[in-house]
Amino acid sequence: MSTTFQLDTATSRANPTPQPMRRLTVPKIQARKADGKTKEPLVMLTAYTARMAQLLDEHCDILLVGDSLGQVIYGLPSTLQVTLDMMIAHGAAVVRGSYHSVVIVDMPFGSYEASPQQAFENASRIMAETGCAAVKLEGGEAMAETISFLCQRGIPVMGHVGLTPQAVNALGGYGARGRSQEEHAKILADGQAVQNAGAFGVVVEGVIEPIAIALSQSLEIPTIGIGGSDQCDGQVLVTEDMLGLFDRVPRFVKRYENMAEVITDAVAQYAAEVRDRTFPGEDQTYQPKS
């Protein structure tokens, strides 16, 4: 049995509730890939709130508290403005709202690049204050020493190579990576460096498909694709993208629902009923007891 905080949907309050299953672990996630193959691909989605975590949890192996919350939740222009406090607050909420998935929290820009010691200080704070199972950080060979430093001190790390949004200014935009032979070779080397440093998995984002396939075939750790290939060992998307909450649909996203339209229609109906005084009705008001 694992105990977590679950929202009581009748009162919107969080209460500790025992759940009849054990939470997945980092070793179990890594063990899903054996002899270079993953029979059942890993399912990963982003989550930023306790309620969304509740809805996603039973269907996912991994919930990622991504620094994409900067754009999705806060309306920021990029992930660069996201703070450690933001990540911790949302990470703790997702852990409270889940009981099955491994919860991974992104380390935000500026919280790990200066030194392995800085990374450990901030990663240990994330782990302690959220209860998450692992952290994720961007970068390949340049971050290998830091990944090794964290892993040797008990902090599981997921890597992130290819298109790394925190380096968008240096990369010159969000275009697919790996079109030149030099960049192709660098991404493959980055993936190998992340694995050698001790990472238990790696996100492969926005790369041309042959690179994603080559990484998945050459690495012993699971690869999680986003704009990669169906041959990756798992897939991740921003939940709000796949649910259709935004007008723009990135090339690598499949929109499974148009929730923006559903919400707009519901709010329009509510507004109309308020204005013509059909809401609230008798069912939504308190009447004197007879």
Note if 205 is an active site residue: yes
| 254, two tokens | 């499949």
Q: What is the pLDDT of residue 27?
A: 98
Q: What is the pLDDT of residue 178?
A: 78
135-144, 159-168, 181-190: segment of lowest average pLDDT: 159-168
Q: What is the pLDDT of residue 175?
A: 74
68 known member of a binding site: yes
78, 118 contact by CB (below 8 A): no
Catalytic residue among 58, 141, 183, 205: 205
Helix (H, G, I), strand (E, B) or coil at 148: helix
37 known member of a binding site: no
Do you find a cis peptide bond into 41, omega within 30 degrees of 0?
A: no
Strands 33-34 and 37-38 come out as antiparallel
Tell me the Cα Rg of the chain.
21
C-alpha torsion sign, points 72, 77, 79, 85: negative
Q: Residue type for 222, please?
A: P
3-7, 105-109, 128-132, 252-256: segment of lowest average pLDDT: 3-7
136 known member of a binding site: yes
Helix (H, G, I), strand (E, B) or coil at 264: helix
Query: What angle is formed at CA 69 by the lines to CA 91 and CA 191, rounded to 5 degrees?
Result: 80
- The neighbour count for residue 154, using CB atoms within 10 Å, is 9
The answer, yes or no, to whether residue 144 has pLDDT greater than 90, is yes
Q: What is the pLDDT of residue 22?
A: 83
What average pLDDT does the segment 112-137 reach? 98
Domain 2-242 class in CATH: alpha beta
61, 29 contact by CB (below 8 A): yes
pLDDT confidence band for 2 (50 / 70 / 90): very low
| 204, two tokens | 């492969």
DSSP 29-72: HHHTEETTEESS-EEEEE--SHHHHHHHHTT-SEEEE-TTHHHH
What are the E-state strand segments in the chain?
2-8, 13-19, 33-34, 37-38, 42-46, 62-65, 102-106, 134-136, 157-162, 201-205, 223-226, 234-237
Q: Where are the domains of the chain?
A: 2-242
